[in-house]
């Protein structure tokens, strides 16, 4: 079983849609980030002070299901994510887990090919030890029933990044 993986930022075509109308059907207004530090899902880094960003509603499992033909049923959920208000350079992280998107507590939520939750793995590592997530992700992906993994922040439940086999 191949346990290499790819961390995926939100695709540019999806970002264009979200800027026009998010997954809740609302057109959101950009804001200038006064402090920086917002986790941007378009480029998998934190915002810098003064950048123009949007907080939009995003349904990552719904987007994946439309691409694969899966039917996630009640597991289809949407939540808030930060993106740049304008086009950006896209994903800036290299191969492996995007360390800049890591925080103290994350859950690795595994889904099967139908879009149903198989389980979750709680990790609690400081950002300076985020590289250790690689081994945990490989263990989760070693289960052949796992089609993809969503990394979520524990405190707010926010979607951080999608992981697929490489």
Task: Say how many CA atoms lie within 13 Å of 78 toward its Cβ.
Answer: 13
77, 41 in Cβ contact below 8 A?
A: no
- Write out the chain's pLDDT in tens, 166 residues: 456 899 999 999 999 999 999 999 999 999 999 999 999 999 999 999 999 999 999 999 999 999 999 999 999 999 999 999 999 988 876 678 888 888 779 999 999 999 999 999 999 988 788 788 889 999 999 999 999 999 999 988 889 999 998 7
No. of helices (H) and no. of strands (E), the chain: 3, 10
Tell me the whole-structure pTM to 2 decimals. Answer: 0.91
Per-residue model confidence (pLDDT) at position 2 = 52
């Amino acid at each position: 079983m191949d346990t290499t993986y790819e961390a995926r930022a939100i695709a540019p075509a999806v970002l264009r849609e979200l800027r026009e109308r998010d997954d809740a059907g609302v057109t959101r207004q950009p804001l200038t980030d006064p402090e920086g530090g917002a986790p941007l899902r378009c480029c998998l880094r934190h915002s810098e002070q003064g950048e123009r960003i949007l907080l939009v509603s995003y349904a990552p499992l719904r987007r994946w299901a439309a691409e694969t033909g899966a039917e996630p049923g009640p597991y289809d959920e949407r939540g808030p994510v930060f993106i740049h208000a304008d086009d950006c350079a896209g994903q800036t992280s290299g191969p492996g887990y995007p360390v800049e998107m890591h925080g103290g507590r994350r859950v690795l939520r595994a889904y099967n090919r139908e879009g149903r939750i198989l389980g979750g793995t709680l990790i609690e590592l400081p950002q300076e030890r985020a590289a250790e997530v690689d081994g945990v992700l490989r263990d989760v992906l070693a289960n052949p029933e796992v089609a993809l993994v969503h990394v979520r922040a524990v405190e707010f439940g926010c979607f951080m990044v999608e992981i697929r086999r490489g």
